[in-house]
């Protein structure tokens, strides 16, 4: 009974650790979705090392205390790693609000994950050995059952995290709950020093959790006052005060600040000025820092303000104050894209005050689909305003490409587009001609008699000078290689990553030269090289089948997470349920095979059937990718894949391989395939080739698995 509970808890520890550390690292790296791939890649590679390499030691050792020690280590390591990741930016000398460069992911992510992932991987091999010893006459079968019990822990803990624990508890409370679950397994089923050690560690973590949570949160903002920290479906929200100004951060990136009065005035009043008589205005994002107050200075104007994160709205009301002009201003806690899909309202002005599209979450607001939705909600002479980072004198290649892509995407939707350089590049798009005559606009400004601190008549003359307009129009004119940005082909996401890297002196422009055909041809060549080796050695076939099918499954899971983020914007919350659905499919498929293990005499035939089923599921996925029930495909991908591990064990049955080593080898290949998929799909396939290109990569992986069966 202890071994079953320990395997279940191993799975629970896996998903709790992975989800909590992913969320913490998302905050370190501005919420960029590359973190998903890097965490999964390093997690699986390190876990595979612990399982496959160190796991060989499990066949040489019968000391049960190794299992107990590994469980105690997990109890201690998880709170330590959460504290470590929260303080990693100050340790590396990185200021609050500054995202580390992409190269730092290769250092920080494995540094954070290594101790815990290695311990959990080794623990799986230890438990598989012990589980096989419990019924030595059926050792190979027990390996499959061990896999199923571990997966069931992922499933139960994943759903509890998604629907109950994450919305209610902070990270350290969850760590305490997990520590008590591990302690219970040792207290009730073991004797001697292990019981007392488990009880002492669980008590220590519970008592220290409030202090650890508060002190580690404060360490992220040295020299500032942290007013509040809270998690929401969109990320971690942190409210910081500094010399009277209140700033809101989400996933480590600055959302808005009350100190940016000049920027708020420029954006709002220039946008209002370009429309002859705005009456209905939609402001999307960033308004609570001052933009909403500037817009409310216009009498008789009805303003709808959209803030996707309800937690930001409630905290802004507490720490900044209620929105101005009650009755004329409606604050709607709703995702901007979802609102436009469901609303039938028409607006004279739509102003987007959002950061650059350096993540899929933000890229959604710079796509052709979003711009078309805005066009549908504009009155005949209505104007859309979108902004991007710029430079007054020189645009580097990365910054230029990003601006070119947004301009091209706007021009494919709107008949008229004008770019005005200021603190940002302001992109104005409309069906009607947009006036740029400085004299007329200065006269309009004087007539409106709006009181401002920075925005004046001479500001208008400076911003709209013909020389500045011509310079910027020439600088951001789309070139022959400029790509349109869309939900399923996030071109600006890649360009945002390149711009991010350039700020730290890193040149990733070589990625633009990668094309899908050479990459796919290289992978196909690798498969064809491995084929003769597999023919000569039958022992290679099961591990290679597991490798390619795991690659397919993880690629599909990451694709679902990223597509969900691109379409709906709250993968931060959905990642746990997507992972749980994936593990539910794996557990169900694995259990079905294990229950009929002795009746299966032709495992190769069943594997071919499962691969064929996966081809069919992938085809259906391509047709229904835009729907809200997209996460369900995580289960549908994983269900046939769950049969692969025990069927591979069945194929290797009779070969002279110890159960611990066999479990470690196959599980290690399973994790290695997932790690490779995490790297290729996250860093290359989705940014460069989009959703469709990634699907072709998954087809290639399925073909490789079929070739080795």
Mean pLDDT of 49-69: 70
Q: Can you say whether residue 235 is alpha, beta or left, with left for phi > 0 and alpha for psi between -120 and 50 degrees?
A: left
Mean pLDDT of 297-324: 90
Query: What pLDDT was estimated at residue 542?
Result: 80
Taking a C-beta distance cutoff of 8 angstroms, is the pair 48, 668 a contact? yes
Instruction: Name the least confident of 214-218, 384-388, 654-658.
Output: 654-658
Which percentage of the chain shows pLDDT scores above 70?
A: 92
Taking a C-beta distance cutoff of 8 angstroms, is the pair 250, 312 a contact? yes
pLDDT in tens, 439-476: 999 999 999 999 999 999 999 999 999 999 999 999 99
Q: Which residues of 107-132 are buried (b: 16+ CB within 10 A; e: fewer)?
A: ebbbebbbbbbbbbbbbbbbbbbbbb
Mean pLDDT of 10-17: 91
CA atoms within 13 A on the CB side of 572: 24
Q: Return mean pLDDT, the chain.
A: 85
- More confidently predicted of 375 and 526: 375
Mean pLDDT of 257-262: 89
Residue 629 to residue 645: CA distance in whole angstroms: 27
SS3 of 641-683: HHCHHHHHHHHHCCCCCCHHHHHHHHHHHHHHHHHHHHHHHHH
Query: What pLDDT was estimated at residue 315?
Result: 92
Model confidence band, residue 135 (pLDDT cutoffs 50, 70, 90): low
Residue 625 to residue 608: CA distance in whole angstroms: 26
Model confidence band, residue 634 (pLDDT cutoffs 50, 70, 90): confident
Mean pLDDT of 77-87: 94
Query: What pLDDT was estimated at residue 629?
Result: 74
* pLDDT value at 138 more than 70: no
Residue 407 to residue 468: CA distance in whole angstroms: 17
Mean pLDDT of 353-377: 92
What's the distance, CA 63 to chain centroid? 40
Taking a C-beta distance cutoff of 8 angstroms, is the pair 172, 213 a contact? yes
Backbone angles phi, psi at 617, to 5 degrees: -60, -40
DSSP secondary structure of 515-551: -HHHHHHHHHHHHHHHHHHHHH-GGGHHHHHHHHHHH
Query: What pLDDT was estimated at residue 302?
Result: 95
Query: What pLDDT was estimated at residue 97?
Result: 67
Residue in the structure block whose two tokens are 């290359």: 684
* pLDDT value at 655 more than 60: no
Mean pLDDT of 12-38: 87
* pLDDT value at 653 more than 90: no
Mean pLDDT of 81-103: 83
* pLDDT value at 251 more than 90: no
Query: What pLDDT was estimated at residue 142?
Result: 57
* pLDDT value at 5 more than 80: yes
Model confidence band, residue 392 (pLDDT cutoffs 50, 70, 90): confident
Query: What pLDDT was estimated at residue 25?
Result: 92
Query: What pLDDT was estimated at residue 572?
Result: 63
DSSP secondary structure of 287-327: GGGTHHHHHTTSTT-EEEEE-S-HHHHHHHHHHT-SPSSBT
Mean pLDDT of 345-354: 96
What's the distance, CA 446 to chain centroid? 47
Query: What pLDDT was estimated at residue 210?
Result: 92
In angstroms, how far is the first alpha carbon of the chain from the final one?
36
Instruction: Name the least confident of 21-25, 272-276, 377-381.
Output: 21-25
Mean pLDDT of 574-593: 81
Parallel/antiparallel/unpaired status of strands 425-430 and 378-388? antiparallel
Q: What is the pTM of this model?
A: 0.84
Query: What pLDDT was estimated at residue 443?
Result: 94
- Helices (H) then strands (E): counts for the chain: 28, 11
Mean pLDDT of 613-624: 87
Mean pLDDT of 586-608: 82
What lies within 8 Å, CB to CB, of 516 at 6+ separation is 688, 689, 693, 696
Query: What pLDDT was estimated at residue 288?
Result: 87
Residue in the structure block whose two tokens are 């994943």: 158
Taking a C-beta distance cutoff of 8 angstroms, is the pair 337, 487 a contact? no
Model confidence band, residue 321 (pLDDT cutoffs 50, 70, 90): confident
* pLDDT value at 657 more than 60: no
* pLDDT value at 498 more than 70: yes
* pLDDT value at 495 more than 80: yes
What lies within 8 Å, CB to CB, of 75 at 6+ separation is 178, 179, 182, 183, 198, 201, 202, 205
Model confidence band, residue 166 (pLDDT cutoffs 50, 70, 90): confident
Residue 125 to residue 350: CA distance in whole angstroms: 57
Query: What pLDDT was estimated at residue 663?
Result: 57
Parallel/antiparallel/unpaired status of strands 280-284 and 253-257? unpaired
């Amino acid at each position: 009974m202890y071994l079953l509970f320990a395997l279940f808890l191993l799975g629970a520890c896996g998903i709790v650790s992975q989800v909590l550390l992913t969320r913490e690292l998302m905050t370190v790296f501005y919420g960029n979705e590359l973190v998903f791939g890097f965490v999964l890649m390093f997690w699986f590679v390190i876990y595979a090392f612990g399982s496959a390499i160190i796991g060989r030691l499990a066949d040489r050792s019968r000391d049960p205390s190794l299992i107990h020690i590994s469980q105690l280590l997990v109890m201690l390591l998880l709170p330590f790693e959460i504290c470590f990741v929260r303080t990693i930016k100050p340790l590396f000398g990185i200021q609050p609000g500054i995202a580390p460069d992409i190269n730092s992911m290769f250092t920080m992510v494995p540094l954070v994950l290594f101790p815990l992932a290695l311990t959990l991987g080794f623990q799986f091999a230890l438990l598989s050995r012990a589980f096989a010893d419990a019924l030595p006459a059926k050792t190979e079968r027990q390996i499959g059952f061990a896999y199923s019990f571990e997966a069931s822990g992922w499933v139960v803990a994943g759903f509890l995290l998604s629907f109950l624990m994450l919305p209610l508890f902070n990270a350290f409370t969850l760590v305490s709950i997990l520590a008590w679950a591990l302690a219970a397994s040792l207290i009730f089923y073991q004797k001697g020093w292990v019981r007392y050690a488990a009880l002492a560690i669980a008590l220590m973590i519970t008592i220290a959790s409030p202090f650890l949570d508060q002190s580690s949160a404060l360490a992220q903002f040295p020299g500032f006052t942290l007013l509040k920290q809270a998690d929401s479906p969109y990320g971690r929200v942190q409210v910081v005060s500094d010399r009277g100004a209140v700033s809101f951060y989400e996933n480590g990136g600055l959302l808005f600040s009350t100190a940016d009065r000049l920027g708020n005035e420029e954006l709002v009043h220039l946008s209002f000025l370009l429309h002859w008589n705005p009456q209905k205005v939609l402001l999307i994002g960033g308004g609570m820092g001052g933009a909403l107050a500037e817009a409310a200075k216009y009498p008789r104007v009805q303003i709808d303000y959209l803030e996707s994160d309800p937690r930001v709205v409630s905290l802004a009301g507490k720490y900044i104050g209620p929105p101005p002009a009650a009755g004329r201003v409606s604050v709607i806690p709703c995702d901007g894209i979802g609102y436009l899909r469901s609303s039938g309202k028409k607006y004279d002005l739509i102003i987007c005050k959002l950061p650059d599209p350096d993540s899929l979450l933000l890229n959604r607001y710079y796509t052709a689909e979003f711009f078309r939705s805005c066009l549908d909600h504009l009155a005949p002479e209505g104007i859309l305003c979108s902004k991007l980072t710029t430079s007054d004198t020189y645009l580097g290649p990365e910054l230029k490409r990003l601006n070119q892509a947004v301009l091209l995407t706007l021009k494919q939707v709107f008949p008229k587009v004008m770019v005005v350089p200021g603190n940002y590049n302001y992109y104005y798009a409309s069906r009607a001609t947009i006036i740029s005559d400085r004299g007329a606009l200065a006269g309009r400004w004087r007539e409106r008699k709006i009181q401002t601190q920075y925005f004046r008549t001479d500001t208008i003359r400076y911003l709209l000078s013909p020389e500045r307009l011509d310079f910027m129009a020439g600088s951001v004119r789309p070139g022959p290689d400029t790509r349109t940005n869309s939900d399923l082909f996030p071109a600006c996401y890649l360009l945002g990553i390149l711009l991010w890297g350039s700020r730290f002196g890193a040149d990733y422009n070589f990625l633009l030269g990668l094309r899908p055909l050479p990459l796919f041809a290289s992978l196909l060549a690798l498969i064809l090289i491995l084929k003769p080796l597999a023919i000569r050695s039958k022992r290679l076939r099961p591990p290679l089948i597991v490798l390619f099918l795991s690659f397919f499954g993880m690629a599909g899971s990451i694709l679902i997470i990223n597509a969900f983020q691109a379409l709906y914007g709250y993968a931060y919350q959905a990642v746990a349920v997507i992972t749980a659905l994936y593990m539910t499919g794996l557990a169900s498929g694995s259990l079905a095979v294990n229950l009929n293990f002795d009746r299966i005499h032709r495992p190769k035939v069943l594997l071919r059937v499962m691969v064929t089923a996966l081809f069919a599921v992938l085809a259906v996925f391509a047709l229904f990718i835009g729907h809200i029930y997209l996460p369900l495909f995580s289960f549908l991908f994983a269900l046939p894949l769950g049969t692969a591990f025990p069927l591979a064990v069945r194929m290797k049955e009779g070969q002279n391989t110890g159960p611990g080593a066999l479990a470690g080898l196959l599980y290690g290949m399973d994790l290695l395939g997932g790690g490779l998929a995490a790297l290729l799909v996250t860093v290359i396939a989705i940014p460069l080739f989009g959703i469709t290109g990634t699907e072709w990569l998954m087809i290639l992986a399925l073909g490789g698995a079929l070739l080795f069966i």
